[in-house]
Amino acid sequence: MDDDEPVDPLPAIRKDCVKTCPKPLANYDACKERIKGKPGADCEIWYYELHHCVDLCVAPKIFAATKE
């Protein structure tokens, strides 16, 4: 990788922010376990709740990391 190439901080920030959402993460993981082997089942609502929580954590951090 070239030293002048910018690095996207978003993946690392998202990974750190998932830790701040233990309840939505637990709900999503529990849903994934419940639906294993059940065709047509999904955990869409739990997925969106988890990512809503993560996005609330990510937003101020990503804007702070953005250079003008």
Nearest to 31 by CA among 22, 41, 40: 41
pLDDT band at 2 (very low <50, low <70, confident <90, very high): low
Note the pTM of the prediction, 2 decimals: 0.81
Instruction: Give yes or no for a contact between 49 and 29, defined as CB atoms under 8 angstroms apart.
Output: no
pLDDT in tens, 4-53: 888 889 999 999 999 999 999 999 999 999 999 999 999 999 999 999 99
pLDDT band at 66 (very low <50, low <70, confident <90, very high): confident
Tell me the one-letter amino acid at 63.
Answer: F
